[in-house]
Amino acid sequence: MRITISGSPGSGTTTLGRSIAEKYGYRYVSAGEVFRGLAKERNMDIAAFGKIAENDPAIDLEIDARQKEIGESSDDIILEGRLAGWMVENADLKVLLRATPECRSTRIAAREGLTEEQAYELTVEREACEAGRYMEYYEIDILDFSPYDLILNSETFSADELFAVVDTAVSSILKRA
């Protein structure tokens, strides 16, 4: 089974992805892990590689291509990333988590030691930049939710409740197989 979990920063994709992977014994791969792997291949730390990536579209394209290749060629995998639902066309289940920028900024501030105001400004700026790149590179409108099977509000539902919904969906799919 291939499952993608997408969502904006702070929406809970990592928590959900790791929980589902743990329950089912699936491999968990995040776009962040792919990024770190590429930095390591170039003998660079993440910060230095990030600076290069900001100005080099080839890095984004390579991360996305790697994620697509890993996802489409692997079984029993959870692939987490903002474009995972778009990139892994043969996924059995595509999940999108959503929450307001205010909610996500609160979460980001708590985990990264920022003020909520700083987290909000950085988050809004980052998302606008990403949306432009996704449109430019792939003609993907990140606000088009058509690829997703499940769209869940992580502001309304707790991590345990999100897990229960996705676990039910996975169990249903596995029963059909």
Instruction: Give the span between the Cα atoms of 112 and 114, in whole angstroms.
Output: 6
Is 156 labelled as part of a ligand binding site?
A: no
**18-25 own/partner pairs: CB under 8 Å, 24+ apart:** 18/78, 19/159, 19/163, 20/78, 20/163, 20/166, 20/167, 20/170, 21/78, 23/167, 24/76, 24/170, 25/76
11 labeled part of a ligand binding site: yes
Helical (H) or strand (E) element with 102: helix 101-112
Question: Is 81 annotated as a binding-site member?
Answer: no
13 annotated to bind ligand = yes
Collapsed DSSP state (helix, strand, coil) of residue 64: helix
Token output for 98: 């959503």
Output the six-digit token pair for 169.
């969906």
HSE of 15 in the Cβ direction (CA atoms, 13 Å)? 16
How far, in whole angstroms, is CA 99 from its chain's centroid?
14
Determine whether the annotation assigns residue 7 to a binding site: yes
- State the binding site: 7-15
Annotated binding site for ATP: 7-15
